[in-house]
Structure 1
Amino acid sequence: MQIWPAIDLRGGKCVRLRQGDYAQETVFNDDPVAVALSFQNAGARHLHIVDLDGAREGSPVNLPAVQDIVAAVDMECELGGGVRDEQAIAELLGFGLGRLVVGTSAIKQPDWFRATCQQFPNKLVLGIDARNGLVATDGWLETSSVSAVELALQFTSEPIAAIVYTDIATDGMMAGPNVAAMREMQDAVSVPVVASGGVTTLEDVRALAEAGLAAAIIGRALYEGAFSLSDAIAIAEEVASSK
């Protein structure tokens, strides 16, 4: 299982929200590049970046910070938040981002997303955010009537790189991930599923790895020092070697 440490950008700073609530923000660092380099030095080979302003505005906002991060590190970087048209996709991939997470537009314009997947094969990640198993959109401001697994199955025949599955109830709450929901999603689809939300302990990392998840995104736990990134990577590798 890959470990993707997370950098959430708002106003050019590295922050975390609780359950996606913009009113519950904690600023962890004014220098996202320094944070990214610390992750790389701890052994990370992947980096998950979220443009929180972009998710709300509908187009990327924190581009200078994103460009600085990508230029500074030697990791596979993915970006989510406000990625909603071909022009933005082409521009962001041109910056050197490895892949882009598309959520709201995939749900609201499924035909467009299918065509765009064909245009950018294995570069787009389907971002599914769910509240009580139902898909949420627009920076988690709206909840639909579509189940997360049902949505995923609509797109698994397309050349998507992965699915990032976020359980909103656990995100940023330091209360553990929804392992059952994550396992259900990975069992239902043939593409890699990246678990996002709630990883709090090294046992959470182990549980997700043992559940067969392809990757896990870790945010607040790293910033609050719950465990070290290097230990999380070691556990993921240990589980992989034991299978």
Structure 2
Amino acid sequence: MIIYPAMDLMGGRVVRLAQGRFDDATTYAADPAEALAQFAAAGALWAHVVDLDGARAGTPVQHDLIADLARAAPLRLQVAGGFRTGEQIARMFDAGVGRVVIGSLAVKQPDLVRGFLAEHGGDRITLSLDVRVIDGTPIVATAGWTEDSGRSLWDIAALYPEARHLLLTDIGRDGMLAGPNFELLEDAGRRLPHVAIQASGGVSSLDDLKRLDTDGAIVGKALWEGRITLEEAVNLAGA
């Protein structure tokens, strides 16, 4: 399992949100470039970096910063936030980014996103689907989690047989340190055997990581608040 230490950026500063609420953000003192260097020193091979301002605006806001970070980073970056065009994605790859994450666009403009996958390949694009579990069905949310698409995770995933990476977030768990939604992740693993699933939302302890049976895990707040160390997580996961 690959551990992706997560770094969310607002105004160039490292923050974490609770359940995606921009009015409930905790700001950390870490310099983004120094944080990436520390991730690499701890043994991480990847980091997950999010332009929260871009995600909120639906257009690039901190992509200059992310491009600079990617050029200097001692590990590979998976980056998210505000990507809407092929030019924006290509710029990230030119800067050395390993993967670009596409979220709401995968729900709203599937033809466009299938074009991104065809152009760059399934190993360079990570689909990110954020869900609320309603009456037992994972319903995909869009627009920074403020809107429900009315479509299930399974319906949206079926649009992308060529996808190879899926970042799956249970909104109710994100930033709450309440533990991942193991049932949802296990169901996704059974239904979507062709994709490498990254578990996101709720990881709060090494025990959570031990229970996960996914290809990757996004670990954010638990790292920043010292509940687990990245060294421990990487050693446990083996990546």
> TM-score range with shorter-chain normalisation?
over 0.9
Q: How does 1:1-243 map to 2 (within 5 A)?
A: 1-121=1-121, 122-132=123-133, 133-155=138-160, 157-158=161-162, 160-189=163-192, 190-208=194-212, 211=213, 213-237=214-238
Aligned AA (2:186): R
Instruction: Determine if contact 2:36/2:74 at 8 Å carries over to the other structure.
Output: no
**Is the deviation greater in 64-73 or in 145-154?**
64-73
SS of equivalent residue, structure 2 residue 169: strand
Whole-angstrom distance in 2 between the partners of 1:45 and 1:183: 25
Deviations 1:156-199 (A, max 9, x none): x22x3400001110000011111111111122111101011100
CA RMSD of aligned residues (A): 1.3
Q: Distance in 1 between matches of 2:66 and 2:29?
A: 15
Moved over 3 A (4+): none
Task: State the one-letter code of the partner of 1:42.
Answer: A
Aligned residues: 233
Contact conserved, 2:68 with 2:95, CA < 8 A, in 1? no
Aligned partners of 1:149 and 1:216: how far apart in 2?
Answer: 20
**Aligned letter for 2:211?**
A
**How far apart are 1:30 and its partner, in Å?**
4.9
Query: Greater CA deviation, 46-55 or 112-121?
Result: 112-121
- Give the SS at the match of 2:217: strand
Q: Measure, in 2, the Cα distance between the counterparts of 1:114 and 1:102.
A: 11
**What's the CA shift for 1:67?**
2.4
Query: Cα deviation per residue 1:23-43 (whole Å; 9 max; x = unaligned)?
Result: 000001251111111111111
Query: Percentage identity across aligned positions?
Result: 39
Question: 2:25 corresponds to which letter in structure 1?
Answer: E
- Consecutive unaligned residues of structure 2, counting only runs of 5 or more, are none
* 1:38-93 deviation digits (Å, cap 9, x = unpaired): 11111100110111001111122112321232123221211111111111111111
1:154 counterpart SS class: coil
Q: Which range is displaced more, 17-26 or 135-144?
A: 135-144
Residue 106 (structure 1) shift: 1.1
Is the CA contact 1:15–1:26 (under 8 Å) kept in the aligned structure 2?
Answer: yes
Instruction: Give the conservation status (yes or no) of the 8 Å contact 2:9–2:51.
Output: yes
Deviation, 1:128, is 0.4
Deviation at 1:154, TM superposition (A): 1.9
Q: Distance in 2 between matches of 1:13 and 1:119?
A: 32
Unaligned runs of 5+ in 1: none
Contact 2:6 2:219 in 1 (8 A): yes
Distance in 2 (alpha carbons) for counterparts of 1:236 and 1:181: 20
Letter in 2 for 1:113: V
